[in-house]
Structure 1
Amino acid sequence: MFGSKDFYRSVWRWHFFAGLYVTPFLIMLSITGLMMLFAPIVERMQHSDLYYVDQVTDTPLSYEQQYQLVADQYPTDQIQRVYVSDSATDATRFQVKMDDDTRSVFVDPYQGEVLGDLTVSHSLYAWADDTHGTFMIGLTGDWLIEIAISFTILLILTGVYMWWPSKGQSKWRAATTVRGKGRSMWRNLHSVTGVWIAVILLFFSISGLSWASVWGGKLVQAWSTFPTEQSAKNVSSTLTHNDLNPEGVKQIPWNLEQSPLPESSAFGDHTITLDRVVNDAKDMGFTRFQVHFPRGEQGVFTATASTMGRDINNALDDRTVHLDRYSGSVIADVGFMDYNWFAKSMAFGIALHMGQFGVWNLVACTVFCLAVILMCVSGVVMWWKRRPSNAVDLSAPPMPKNLKRWQHAVWLLLPISLLMPMATIGMAVIVLVDVLVLLSIPKLRSKWA
């Protein structure tokens, strides 16, 4: 069955229709992914006068004093968090929530002055992130992208099947040689590129789907969410960890986003100082981290160090600690070893996905994104060259003469699609159009097939 010509045509037809939908999304995801890789680097280079200080002395201002400088400069806005660095030349960075924007405010802790601010919510990174995740059209865009990424997994499987060399042929040669001219050359370029990036593309697809609203939010992320009540002394907040994320940017560990925030156990006369929180966090082993300020009278101080927040590169050091705002006692302490296996793989995967493991990782992600674009472009060119010059239709691969083979391909792919609900919807549409409608309209079928 799997080696027959009709089965090959069935797989090819599935590959074509999935690719027709997926191609523009993969190009968009690759371009915005490149933007997200380099936007933080470019921003630090462009605004080095904000990110770094000129003179370092032995007596920096306390964090409370720096906080007050920002509060005086932005009296009507809400200061939400501070980034604590382990480098003496880094300016202290606070995040301030304004009406429709969150801004990073930079403070020179040695000269005692506010250096300036930069937008977070309307930055290039935030724009690329929003486009990458929702096409900037909210939940509808999220669903469309989820279907595209689910179909990408089908493309990988069908593409590897179509590329797989016949018995006696060298797999190494087939994976490294671009032969022929014209459409043949483009077909070889497409398949060779696809085979080399298949495993990485599968990894990026699965990790990307983990952020999607249906497969990720309703299934995998919900299952992987750490139950804070196992560690916290008091969990009754209506807020979740996701509420700690700045508008338009993800910084909280993936497996904590849906988990409720704990609350301070009782009201007190005085809130502990920011310096107390920072020093306690350092005593617990934190080096580069964020301190999120309490939300409401029973809110908690939260110290986070994670690959998601770009605080650290080693996922083994992922940690989130909640402190009672009045007593300073530790309410919850969640580390990497508390995650389940999928959340652990996500913590490492996010760092790889964002190119955080040094120059080699950044270069590898860049080459991967460019390879995906090349694969998409070569697929479009290959299809265009195969089309008859006077064609007005899609010129899809021919329908198998033996429709049982088409059905076999459907049954083969159906279990995969059922693991991804949005892929099931997309496949159902393809089957409905390609089998029911086209088979009932002979003239349309003759052009389509």
Structure 2
Amino acid sequence: MKKNEKLNKWLWKWHFIAGLISLPFILLLSITGGIYLFKTDYETPRQQHIKEVVVQGTPISLQEQWQMANNSTPKKPSAVVLSNRANQATEFVSGRFSGKSSVFINPYSGEVSGTIVTKKTDMFKVRKLHGELLMGKLGTKIIELIASWMVVLILTGLYVWWPGRGWKLKGFFIPRINEGKRTFYRDLHAITGFWMSGLLILILAGGFPWTDVFGENFKQIQKITNTGYPVTWEGRQLQSAISGESLTLDEMASKAKALDLPGIVTLHLPKGPKGVFSVSNENPSDLQSQKKIHFDQYSGEIITANDWKDVGVLMRGRMWVMAFHQGEFGLWNWWLMLIVAIGLTAMSISALISYLLRKRNGIWGVPKVPSAFRVGYGIITTIVILSIVFPLFGISIVIILCIEYVRKLNKKRRITLSTS
């Protein structure tokens, strides 16, 4: 591919400006993302005294445990995680996502072994720092804007990196170590970015579903195209036929265990006398094994069952990239995300060092663009497409254009005043 040198300078200018503004946020994202990968390692020893108990004879019934859990928490539990080990405390759950709260019951003594409130955990704070800068909705939008510009940084960086005068091993695929510090750090930034570009795009795709604007638009597209979860997945419209006594938790748990579902199996309790029991399994390492099955709370018969093939293609893709983003596909995925987090940190720091080594006192050192350069239709089309896909990026472009227009007007006014 023959490069347009004027276009290369223009893209380099905007890669430079966007990178300089985004760099502190990108560093924060890479560091907090790397820390969050150690969530299980960090929380397991700290929560062990709550989640694990001493085996002492025969466990009491699940129904009795639920009563004890219900009496010990202000919010009535809506689900129970089915234990698969004898030394495991029974987890009763209320709320979802950031509002999730769990109370753990010792199945032998009936005592509360402890509670875990998601919002109060250290790793929840790390996740909130990673996703919203601990600033709520405003922080989420800032992170979404930075992530949108990261896509632009990757695309412009690839073009600027692309060799214009033939391919060479040093300087394009491995850093030059004998040509000074500035060259070394420039190469370290550019080459690391090249090798990680595809992965970074995939990781960003896994983060965008959590954002406010893009995420909400994506949900609307899923709804319009009917490519999300089937309407029966949550079971809100399903009803049990009232007849006699409802099944006990122990009876329903036996039916759930008979399904032999992999991963973490949760039994969701009926909401009211017409509600249904629902059984689901969380198994991020094998998404295709996930199911959601709804039972009549009186007869115990299956009303409807959904598995992965019933989930729409956009939701399946969304769940895949989100699981990949969090390193949930096994050890290889975890290590890959950790390497990317370290690589992104090194790439950002090397870019900063390279900039400081080339920067002169008193000036920002923004790359110059030939005054004769005009943006072509291809670039304009690309910007428009990116603005539609990433609305916050589009808004930032409009703001930049307005600032540029005002700056040029002021420049013309100064010239006019100086010549009059």
Normalised by the size of structure 1, how large is the TM-score? 0.81
Judged with a 3 Å threshold, the aligned counterparts in structure 2 of structure 1 residues 362 and 56 are, in CA distance, closer, same or farther, namely farther
Q: Which residue of 2 aligns with 1:10?
A: 10
1:70 maps to 2:42: no
- Counterpart of 1:418 (choices 388, 393, 416) is 388
Listed one character per residue, the Cα deviations across residues 15-46 of structure 1 (whole Å, up to 9, x for unaligned) are: 12322343233222223323322123211112
C-alpha distance in structure 2 between counterparts of 1:56 and 1:301, whole Å? 30
Shift of 1:209: 0.9
Q: Is the 8 A contact 1:64 1:273 kept in 2?
A: yes
C-alpha distance in structure 1 between counterparts of 2:40 and 2:273, whole Å? 34
1:294 maps to 2:273: no
Judged with a 3 Å threshold, the aligned counterparts in structure 2 of structure 1 residues 191 and 319 are, in CA distance, closer, same or farther, namely same
Shift of 1:335: 1.5
Equivalent position SS for 1:86? coil
Shift of 1:203: 0.5
Listed one character per residue, the Cα deviations across residues 172-192 of structure 1 (whole Å, up to 9, x for unaligned) are: 862223433232221111111
Shift of 1:297: 4.9
Q: Is the 8 A contact 2:206 2:323 kept in 1?
A: no
C-alpha distance in structure 1 between counterparts of 2:200 and 2:393, whole Å? 17
Q: Which residue of 2 aligns with 1:380?
A: 352
Equivalent position SS for 2:279? strand
Map 1:263-412 onto structure 2 (within 5 A).
263-267=238-242, 270-287=245-262, 288-307=264-283, 312-391=284-363, 394-405=364-375, 409-412=379-382
1:431 maps to 2:401: yes
Judged with a 3 Å threshold, the aligned counterparts in structure 2 of structure 1 residues 405 and 290 are, in CA distance, closer, same or farther, namely same
Q: Which residue of 2 aligns with 1:246?
A: none
Equivalent position SS for 2:49? helix
Equivalent position SS for 2:365? coil
Q: Which residue of 2 aligns with 1:226?
A: 228
C-alpha distance in structure 2 between counterparts of 1:444 and 1:122, whole Å? 57
Q: Is the 8 A contact 2:229 2:315 kept in 1?
A: no
Listed one character per residue, the Cα deviations across residues 78-109 of structure 1 (whole Å, up to 9, x for unaligned) are: 213222243333322222469x9753222232
Shift of 1:427: 2.1
Q: Which residue of 1 aligns with 2:418?
A: none
Deviation larger for 220-229 or 41-50: 220-229
Runs of 4 or more above 6 Å deviation: 443-446
Judged with a 3 Å threshold, the aligned counterparts in structure 2 of structure 1 residues 330 and 136 are, in CA distance, closer, same or farther, namely farther
Judged with a 3 Å threshold, the aligned counterparts in structure 2 of structure 1 residues 264 and 172 are, in CA distance, closer, same or farther, namely farther
C-alpha distance in structure 1 between counterparts of 2:357 and 2:236, whole Å? 56
Judged with a 3 Å threshold, the aligned counterparts in structure 2 of structure 1 residues 402 and 37 are, in CA distance, closer, same or farther, namely same
Q: Is the 8 A contact 1:40 1:125 kept in 2?
A: no
Aligned length, in residue pairs: 409
C-alpha distance in structure 2 between counterparts of 1:132 and 1:295, whole Å? 35
Q: Which residue of 2 aligns with 1:26?
A: 26
Judged with a 3 Å threshold, the aligned counterparts in structure 2 of structure 1 residues 6 and 413 are, in CA distance, closer, same or farther, namely same
C-alpha distance in structure 1 between counterparts of 2:393 and 2:413, whole Å? 26
Q: Is the 8 A contact 1:6 1:405 kept in 2?
A: no
Equivalent position SS for 1:390? coil
Q: Is the 8 A contact 2:100 2:118 kept in 1?
A: yes
Q: Is the 8 A contact 1:78 1:97 kept in 2?
A: no
Q: Is the 8 A contact 2:229 2:311 kept in 1?
A: no
1:440 maps to 2:415: no
C-alpha distance in structure 1 between counterparts of 2:21 and 2:227, whole Å? 32
Shift of 1:304: 2.1
The runs of 5 or more residues in structure 2 that have no matched partner are 416-420
